[in-house]
């Protein structure tokens, strides 16, 4: 830059930042006072005339997220359509009766929206995220995807190939394989169904099978629409305008029974993985769920820092007495084959001696855990969606804190007693020659 050009730029900057152009402090304060602050909105929930449950939280965000939660998880699959929910997750942007998959993908991208689909054993969840100004158009596309799928045979054939990739990735994650085996060993009925398709079912999910499942389970009474960053009346209007379900009879009611057993998977892995579970509480039983959460915090939540020492918990102390090798143990999963029996024994002993001080400390840990799980928009949205689907309302953090505060040591002892008296189920994976069987833990 030459000297004349530099001099001109400097003069322009002096003019730009001239104090003569600055507003007096008094006028600035007056301008700020004239701005009306946005008031905090409470969560709202209603049921529109079609029977769809609509819930929302308006936080004035420029980004709106909407989740369509449908009671159509893998527990509702039958013997002849196993893995269909896994398959439907990948059918979200296939052609509908009104538009091609290309058109819907293009339209979503043009409005800057993002769509992804997740599934649990209870629900199939469609998540839409976009700008506040274009969310109505996004909801129209989402409604077309959910209520008017075409399931063209040639598109389904291409989609089936993706399932093989999912299964290959799943098999490379020992924890994922262990969790699927644990459900199969613990339940009889729908909850034993995997989140992943069986290999022999890949390529067998035909249009008739898909249409039959959607007609039976994609109904207004089984659907909740949850919005974050949108006015409740706007969400109600959009849902009422765009979502029109045909309705039909469900093929399965998803009834399940806790029927403990054992599954052992021999595999050449560097570590041995084992998990032992007992029957807990239903998702709708909030008090027992929170009591079990307090009990979990008392036993140990595992490491929050990767590769850190696991001995600083009730279960970790028991494991540390049996080995000097590295290990990991928590209230939900147990790894390292030689530690299983010692850890289970310690768990039984800990549940027999529950003190008020230990309960109070665990309650604080549970509060922190629940609040940290709601720190991001995605996690908060997930919690809201499941609250509406399971409880018919959005549970505020303060409401959860109050529910935790009223728990007494007697409540924790009661659920701990039930857990310890119940017959456990077990799943293990790895080189299992030294891993105890479930009957050796009783």
Residue 305: Cβ within 10 Å count: 6
Could you write out the DSSP letters of every residue in 360-386?
A: HHHHHHHHHHHHHTTSSHHHHHHHHHH
The 10 Å CB-count burial string (b at 16+, else e) for 235-261 is bbebbeebbebeeeeebbebebebebb
Does residue 95 surpass a pLDDT of 70? yes
Helix, coil or strand: residue 357 = helix
Could you write out the DSSP letters of every residue in 40-104?
A: PPPPEEEE-TTS-EEEEE----SEEEEEEEES--GGG--GGGTTHHHHHHTTTTS-BSSS-HHHH
CA–CA separation, 37 vs 82, rounded Å? 53
CA–CA separation, 278 vs 421, rounded Å? 9
Residue with tokens 């509480």: 281
Residue with tokens 């769509």: 115
Tell me the β-bridge partners of 57: 228
pLDDT tens by residue, 294-323: 888 887 776 555 545 554 455 555 555 554
CA–CA separation, 165 vs 260, rounded Å? 31
**What are the DSSP E strand ranges found in 267-327?**
273-277
Strands 63-70 and 124-131: antiparallel
pLDDT tens by residue, 44-80: 999 999 999 999 999 899 999 999 999 999 999 999 9
Could you write out the DSSP letters of every residue in 399-437?
A: HHHHHHHT--HHHHHHHHHHHHHSPPEEEEEE--TTSPP
How many CA atoms within 13 Å lie on the side-chain side of 347?
30
pLDDT tens by residue, 112-134: 999 999 999 999 999 999 999 99
Q: Which two tokens stand for residue 330?
A: 């928590």
Mean pLDDT computed over every residue of the chain:
84
Does residue 13 surpass a pLDDT of 50? no
Q: Which two tokens stand for residue 1?
A: 């830059």
Identify whether the C-beta of residue 175 lies closer than 8 Å to the C-beta of residue 117: no
pTM (two decimals)? 0.83
For the chain, what is the total number of helices (H) and then of strands (E)? 16, 13
Residue 102: Cβ within 10 Å count: 10
Predicted pLDDT of residue 48: 95
CA–CA separation, 347 vs 276, rounded Å? 11
Q: Is the dihedral of CA 303, 309, 313, 315 positive or negative?
A: positive
90-94, 145-149, 251-255, 398-402: which range is least confident on average? Answer: 251-255
CA–CA separation, 220 vs 54, rounded Å? 11
Q: Which two tokens stand for residue 398?
A: 């303060």
CA–CA separation, 238 vs 136, rounded Å? 6
Q: Which two tokens stand for residue 116?
A: 């992804």
> 353 burial class (0-12, 13-18, 19+ CB within 10 angstroms)?
exposed
pLDDT tens by residue, 201-250: 999 999 999 999 999 999 999 999 999 999 999 999 999 999 999 877 77
Q: Which two tokens stand for residue 226?
A: 């949850």
Name the helix (H) or strand (E) containing 115.
Answer: strand 114-119
Predicted pLDDT of residue 109: 94
Q: Which two tokens stand for residue 298?
A: 């008392």
pLDDT tens by residue, 341-384: 666 776 677 677 788 888 899 899 999 988 888 888 888 888 89
Q: Which two tokens stand for residue 207?
A: 């249009």
The average pLDDT across 18-47 equals 66
Q: In the chain, how long is the greatest CA-to-CA distance?
A: 89
End-to-end CA distance of the chain: 82
Predicted pLDDT of residue 337: 46
The average pLDDT across 409-418 equals 88
Nearest Cα residue to 160 out of 117, 123, 210, 118: 210
Residue with tokens 């296939």: 94
């Amino acid at each position: 830059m030459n000297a004349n050009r530099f001099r001109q730029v400097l003069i322009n900057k002096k003019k730009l930042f001239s104090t003569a152009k600055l507003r007096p402090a008094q006028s600035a304060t007056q301008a700020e006072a004239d701005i009306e602050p946005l008031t905090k909105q409470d969560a709202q929930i209603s049921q529109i005339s079609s029977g769809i449950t609509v819930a929302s939280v308006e936080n004035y965000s420029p980004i709106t997220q909407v989740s369509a939660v449908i009671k159509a998880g893998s527990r509702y699959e039958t013997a002849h359509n196993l893995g269909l929910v896994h398959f439907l997750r990948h059918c979200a942007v296939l052609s509908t009766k009104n538009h091609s998959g290309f058109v819907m993908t293009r339209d979503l991208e043009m409005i800057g929206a993002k769509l992804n689909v997740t599934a649990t054993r209870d629900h199939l969840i469609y998540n839409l995220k976009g700008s506040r100004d274009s969310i109505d158009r996004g909801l129209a596309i989402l409604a077309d995807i959910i209520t008017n799928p075409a399931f063209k045979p040639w598109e389904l054939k291409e989609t089936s190939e993706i399932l093989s990739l999912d299964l290959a990735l799943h098999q490379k994650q020992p924890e994922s394989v262990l969790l699927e085996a644990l459900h199969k060993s613990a339940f009889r009925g729908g909850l034993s169904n995997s989140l992943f398709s069986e290999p022999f079912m890949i390529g067998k999910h035909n249009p008739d099978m898909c249409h039959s499942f959607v007609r039976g389970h994609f109904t207004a009474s089984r659907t909740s629409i949850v919005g974050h960053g949108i006015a409740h009346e706007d969400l109600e209007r959009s849902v009422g305008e765009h979502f029109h379900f045909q309705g039909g009879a469900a093929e399965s009611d998803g009834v399940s029974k806790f029927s403990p057993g054992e599954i052992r998977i021999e595999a050449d892995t560097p570590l041995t993985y084992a998990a032992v579970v007992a029957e807990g509480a239903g998702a709708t039983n909030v008090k027992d769920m929170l009591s079990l959460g307090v009990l979990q915090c008392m036993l140990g939540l595992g490491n929050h820092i990767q590769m850190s020492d696991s001995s600083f918990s009730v279960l970790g102390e028991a494991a540390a007495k049996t080995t000097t090798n590295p290990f990991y143990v928590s209230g939900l999963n147990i790894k390292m084959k030689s530690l299983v029996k010692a850890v289970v024994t310690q768990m039984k002993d800990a549940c027999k001696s529950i003190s008020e001080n230990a309960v109070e400390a665990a309650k604080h840990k549970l509060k922190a855990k629940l609040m940290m799980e709601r720190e991001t928009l995605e996690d908060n949205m997930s919690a809201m969606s499941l609250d509406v689907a399971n409880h018919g309302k959005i549970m505020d953090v303060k409401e959860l804190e109050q529910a935790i505060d009223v728990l007494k040591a007697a409540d924790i002892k009661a659920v701990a007693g039930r857990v310890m008296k119940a017959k456990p189920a077990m799943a293990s994976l790895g080189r299992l020659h030294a891993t105890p069987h479930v009957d050796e833990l009783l």
